[in-house]
């Protein structure tokens, strides 16, 4: 999983849910409800940081040591299927957010969000419109389940 996603420490809040309530006390319900809200905020904040950190590596195969291969590919005049057979493309398609070309076993919603941001940003900046974005249900469900497991692994109750 994403190694930059840090542990998040949250408070135990059994009195914020009728399925687990321990003591029916108005003040305890309120306190646990506030702690639940704070816990969700902490998890979402860390998740947002993970999204940002993944974005810092977006399209790494187009810059740095890969730039010459990228420039050669983009200036080759090849399009469609011929372009997708170039050596550079084989490297580029392995980036985590290219989910319709290759889906990592540990795909998660961060990868899905990166894909959506990439498709919309590229489309709007290049042509002013966005190609239809499609992702299989299997990939989406796998991303959801892997994200749940990632969160379960990182959320710690005090």
Sequence-separated (6 or more) residues with CB below 8 Å from residue 10: 35, 38, 39, 42, 43, 155, 156, 157, 158
Q: What is the pLDDT of residues 88-117, one digit of tens each?
A: 999 999 999 999 999 999 999 999 999 999
| 3-state SS, one letter per residue, for 110-123 | HHHHHHHHHHHHHH
Sequence-separated (6 or more) residues with CB below 8 Å from residue 144: 109
d(CA 33, CA 39): 10
Mean per-residue pLDDT, 114-125: 98
- The closest of 112, 98, 94, 99 to 51, measured between CA atoms, is 112
Mean per-residue pLDDT, 115-135: 97
pTM of the model: 0.90
Assign 157 a pLDDT band (cuts: 50, 70, 90).
Answer: very high
């Amino acid at each position: 999983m994403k190694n930059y996603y840090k542990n998040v420490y949250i408070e135990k809040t059994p009195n914020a849910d009728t399925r687990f309530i321990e003591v029916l006390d108005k003040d305890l319900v309120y306190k646990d409800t506030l702690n639940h809200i704070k816990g969700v905020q902490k998890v979402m904040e860390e998740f947002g940081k993970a999204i940002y950190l993944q974005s810092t590596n977006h399209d790494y195969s187009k810059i740095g040591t890969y730039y010459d291969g990228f420039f050669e590919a983009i200036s080759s005049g090849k399009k469609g299927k011929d372009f997708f057979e170039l050596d550079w493309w084989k490297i580029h398609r392995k980036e985590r957010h290219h989910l319709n070309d290759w889906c990592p076993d540990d795909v998660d919603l961060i990868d899905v969000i990166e894909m959506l941001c990439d498709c919309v940003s590229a489309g709007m900046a290049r042509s002013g419109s966005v190609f239809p974005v499609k992702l299989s249900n299997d990939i989406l469900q796998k991303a959801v389940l892997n994200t749940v497991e990632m969160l379960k692994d990182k959320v710690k109750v005090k």
